[in-house]
Structure 1
Amino acid sequence: MTDPALSLEEENVMKRVRLVADLLDDAVKIPGTDVGVGLDSLVGLLPVSGDLVGGAASLYTVAEAARLGVEPKVIGKMLLNIGVDVGVGSIPVLGDLFDVLFKANVRNADLLEEHLTNRSA
């Protein structure tokens, strides 16, 4: 589905960002629920280092946003989402549950798409 408010480059970036967000946050649905689990949650099971690896992968969306010239306020919100995800995700057990529910990558993809759509409109 194409958004007429986005350029071809922006559409392509959003496709990649959504793919990464889905892989990291929503790759597999938990049977009987609408809740998805992604690689970020699985890697996050490794104490601290797993959350750092997930956080590093999450920076992909921030890099794409910066490359597109997204305003610093939006980039800051994205970095805050990643920081919260890594920080709280590092707490044993509670952090693993938080990783499943918070979905920083989907939030950041939404922030990027909203910014691009509003900027182009």
Structure 2
Amino acid sequence: MTREEHFRRLERVEKVARNMDRAFRLPLTRIRIGWDGLLGLVPGIGDTLAVAPAVWILSEAHAMGAPRTLLAQMAGNLGIDYVIGLIPLIGDVFDIGFKSNSRNAELLRAWLEDHHAAPGEGAPSRRLDAA
């Protein structure tokens, strides 16, 4: 897979992460919430449904050749989000602040930029919060 293909895939990962973690702004606040937080409000199945995009992000990282240590860290973020998200009310508040999908997208971007950087040059930087 070429550098350009990796960064195109990363852009899709970042878009999904934004939608899952910060798609909407709560009125009269600076707090952003995404589909992950909203789905988590549905008892029983909401948190489980929100795992699917998170697993897709993890599988994209694997397909791009991310090392096992990075995949383990990303899986840890996903697991923490899922397990704590299952706790009524506490999990819902946690979902708003933890933003595991964004954390994982940022980890993947950092690894790709390091992996594809030529000696003495950096890869193009684009923050997840930009859009």
Give 1:111's aligned residue: 107
Q: Residue type of the partner of 2:68?
A: P
1:87: how far off?
A: 0.3
Give 2:3's aligned residue: 7
Q: How many residues align?
A: 116
Say if 1:55 and 1:85, in contact at 8 Å, map to a contact too: no
1:40: how far off?
A: 0.6
Aligned equivalents of 2:53, 2:113: Cα separation in 1: 24
Structure 1's unaligned 5+ residue stretches are 1-5
Matched, 1:53 2:49: yes
Give the structure with higher Rg (CA). 2
Aligned equivalents of 1:34, 1:116: Cα separation in 2: 30
Matched, 1:37 2:33: yes
Give 1:76's aligned residue: 72
- The 5 A counterparts of 1:19-38 are 19-38=15-34
Q: Deviations over 1:61-114 (max 9, x none)?
A: 111100011000000011100100000000000100000110000000000000
Aligned equivalents of 1:108, 1:23: Cα separation in 2: 14
Aligned equivalents of 1:86, 1:46: Cα separation in 2: 13
Aligned equivalents of 1:20, 1:77: Cα separation in 2: 19
Q: TM-score, normalised by structure 1?
A: 0.90
Identical residues among aligned pairs (%): 36
CA root-mean-square deviation:
1.3
Give 1:3's aligned residue: none
Structure 1 residues 48 and 86: CA distance shift in structure 2, 3 A: farther
Q: TM-score, normalised by structure 2?
A: 0.84
Matched residue SS, 1:74: helix
Q: Residue type of the partner of 1:87?
A: V
Give 1:88's aligned residue: 84
1:120: how far off?
A: 1.4
